[in-house]
Chains A and B, each alone.
Chain A
Amino acid sequence: MLFLSQLINGLQLGSIYALVALGYNMVYGIVKLLNFAHGDIIMVGAYIALFSLNFGHHPVLAALLTVGGCTLLAIVIEKTAYSPLRLAPRLSLLITAIGISILLQNLAQLLFEARGRSFPAYRLLPAGYIELVGTRVAYTSILTITISVVSMIVLTFLVRKTKLGKAMRAVSEDTGAAQLMGVNVNVVITFTFAVGAALAGVGALMYGVRFPLITPVIGAMLGLRAFVAAVFGGIGSIPGAMIGGFLIGLLEVLVIHMGLSGWVDGVVFALLIIVLLVRPTGIMGRNLMEKV
């Protein structure tokens, strides 16, 4: 039964990675930008949730404020930092993203102190667990996995069935052609950032529940893990992000389950190297010839 509880641990961890990886992949799919500030948006979201819950807000209000705050932040960043560079080389955009990441981290250190703050997870979700075939399964695990899966279903519906989703796919396919066909590219790009950040907000809540200590640098490691998940699943692909996230989460826990807890980081990053060598487009990625 130990294996079953580790499996659920892995799924919970994986669902957080998947939510974050989705943000990476959506943005990459549209503007070919590795948005390194994505992890830090989650950090800001975690702080919003922390302060809101400590202020005594209802959990639902706190969750809405978190998701709203993250979305707003992403729109502001997109409008002020990325949008002016739309025609600039992609490298400039990448470096700007790293700059935003550093800015957010240091701003957070200035505003919220470098030392960790405890996340009042018990105000958001009830503690406790249910017995499932002899295994304790925490409510938080069930809720995290459920919310993550529901978010992905909603996202898939949004991308596949709505007009904006259609526009997103068109811009992703060929920005120039989409523009000629009357798609407002700027609106679509901003919308993509906003959706990615909203998922990051959900991810921030899930993160706080699982890891109830928030510091200004939590975005870095989480972002890196989610990035590995995104590459593993296929950069730019939405189902790829989900599969990659769950697989990385399960892999980490599997390594620990085998009694190799000291090797977790090593195995995860070795996997990144292997994927980049053998199948750089990831599990779900399409093999596209680079246009010259």
Chain B
Amino acid sequence: MKKRLSRVGISMLLAFTFLFLLAACADNQPAAPAVGEDGEVNEVVIGVLAPLTGPVARFGVAVRDGVMLYIDGFNAQGGLQIRPIIFDEEGDMGQAVIGYHSLVDQGITALIGSVTSGPTMAVVPEANADGMPMITATSTHLNVTVDAATGRVWENVFRSCFIDPFQGTKMAEFAREVIGAETAAVLFSNDIDYSIGLMEAFVERAGQIGLEIVATEVFAQDAIDYVGQLTNIAALNPDVLFVPGYVEHVALIGPQSAQVGLDAIIIGADGWDGVLDIMAEGQRSTLEGSFHLTGFTVEDETPMVQDFITRFTEATGSPPDMFSAQAYDAAMILIAAIQRTLADGYLPNTPEFKAATIAHMAATDMTAVTGHITFDQYNNPQKTAVIIEFVDGEPRLWGTF
């Protein structure tokens, strides 16, 4: 028995050694850029990191669909071809780093990704060391573009979505200036980073503009019962209640706020996207008159947005959400920068090309489907926020703010 075991052990060792050798022998040399006979670059390879399986696959698939729609449309025009290589990072930080290195080995010149903040932040230091141009469509965490330890900006990393604090600040201003609120309560989750970030920014901005915070109540990520907190809030009778949560929270907070007789106008952020879709018709009235901020609305009438919506719906069978729209914009920003870099005469996959692409991305000044985008000194987009109002149980575009 012992002998057999050791034989198994040896063969396993051998197998591992073989695998290791294979990995070591794999081609680590970046692929040479495809250059046409006339010296024109006719193909650029970019990487796309997204979770296509696993718990956050819903977001990853939405992002991939948005990116691919832009790239396919771009390639169909002829001329320069963008070749995307997609890696499924499963929503896992370790897989994201492995995926990044695998994409680098395959000769990418720029990266779109990743989707959720954790994996993106795992890749950022590696990409920064490589001087890799990088843009994420959906990672909202503050430290995606700014090093948490040193406060230094990751100059190669951009994003096409709002950051968490921005939304909290905006909604405090909206409550004070548009709704005319003088008192506000906050109901947030203390185990969701997103919710904490929004709450802190909301409270800070409220203090600056004379919006009094009368109550700050907490719920857990998997909470179902908010009646106790809402009863406390209702007793203080604030003008607005800010709920920086996701749809599964808001869909319960709405009806429960009606149960305790809360009169405040309930407001929220982009986590609310699609909340009315999961609420029964008779319960939607409990959120009547609510407002929430979002990055994108299918009600935008501009031709560019309507064209995007039509093509997206044709390609995937369902209308785009905010994530797909932001992904479409991320691809647009990156590819525009790549085109300018090529016009400067750099060859793809050289350090100079990457540095020039980063400079062109920083100078972005273009109208995309989620609004007109420029970047601030922290590489965060400066764009107008869309406000949605719930009227007659339907989300309606209130306007931009």
Task: List chain A positions with a Cβ less than 8 A from chain B.
Answer: 1-2, 5-6, 9-10, 12-13, 54, 115-123, 127, 129, 136, 138, 140-141, 210-213, 215, 218, 221-222, 252-253, 256-257, 259, 261-262, 264-265
Contact = CB atoms under 8 A, between A and B. Distances in A.
A121 B224 contact: no
A211 B252 contact: yes
B252 A2 contact: no
A256 B280 contact: no
B282 to A, nearest CB: 4
Most buried by A among B218, B219, B228: B228
Interface size bracket, B side: 20 to 34
| 4 smallest beta-carbon distances between A and B, as pairs | A256-B228, A262-B218, A118-B280, A122-B282
A261 B279 CA distance: 25
B310 interface: no
B218 A212 contact: no
Given A9-B231, A121-B255, A213-B278, A116 B224 contact: no
Contacts of A141: 259
A261 B278 contact: no
A116 B248 CA distance: 7
A123 B282 contact: yes
Most buried by A among B220, B225, B251: B225
A153 to B, nearest CB: 26
Nearest to A221: B222
A215 B222 CA distance: 11
B261 interface: yes
Most buried by A among B217, B259, B279: B259
A265 B222 CA distance: 11
Nearest to B276: A118
B227 A210 contact: yes
A210 B248 contact: no
A141 B225 CA distance: 14
A257 B256 CA distance: 16
Contacts of A261: 217-219, 228-229, 232
A136 B261 contact: yes
Given A123-B282, A212-B255, A264-B220, 16 more contacts: A6-B228, A6-B231, A6-B232, A9-B227, A9-B228, A115-B278, A116-B278, A118-B280, A118-B283, A122-B283, A140-B259, A210-B256, A211-B225, A212-B283, A222-B224, A256-B229
A76 B190 CA distance: 41
Given A2-B232, A5-B231, A118-B283, A221 B258 contact: no
A1 B217 CA distance: 19
A213 B232 contact: no
B232 to A, nearest CB: 7
Interface of B: 190, 217-220, 222, 224-225, 227-229, 231-232, 235, 247-248, 251-252, 255-256, 258-261, 278-280, 282-283
Contacts of B280: 54, 118-120, 122, 212
A46 B82 CA distance: 50
B336 to A, nearest CB: 36
B283 A265 contact: no
A213 B228 contact: no
Contact of B228 (A218, A222, A257): A257
Contact of A256 (B232, B259, B261, B278): B232
Contact of B251 (A116, A122, A218): A116
Contact of B261 (A129, A140, A252): A129
Contacts of A138: 259-260
B56 to A, nearest CB: 12
Nearest to A212: B255
A205 B220 CA distance: 23
Given A118-B251, A211-B225, A261-B228, A5 B278 contact: no
Nearest to B229: A261
A261 B256 CA distance: 16
B266 to A, nearest CB: 16
Given A121-B255, A138-B259, A213-B248, A265 B278 contact: no
B232 A215 contact: no
Nearest to B282: A122
Nearest to B253: A213
Contact of A221 (B224, B232, B248): B224
A155 to B, nearest CB: 25
A2 B219 contact: no
B183 to A, nearest CB: 17
A259 B232 CA distance: 8
B260 A136 contact: yes
A118 B275 CA distance: 10
A127 B229 contact: no
Most buried by B among A210, A212, A215: A212
A120 B229 CA distance: 23
A179 B258 CA distance: 54
A264 B218 CA distance: 10
B204 to A, nearest CB: 19
B252 A212 contact: yes
Contacts of B279: 118
A257 B255 CA distance: 20
28 contacts: A2-B231, A6-B228, A10-B228, A115-B278, A116-B247, A116-B278, A117-B278, A118-B278, A118-B283, A119-B280, A120-B282, A122-B280, A122-B282, A129-B259, A136-B260, A138-B259, A140-B259, A211-B224, A211-B252, A212-B252, A213-B224, A221-B222, A221-B224, A252-B225, A253-B227, A261-B218, A261-B228, A264-B228
A90 B283 CA distance: 45
A117 B229 CA distance: 23
B237 to A, nearest CB: 11
A121 B283 contact: yes
Contacts of B231: 2, 5-6, 9
A13 B248 contact: no
Contacts of A127: 258-259
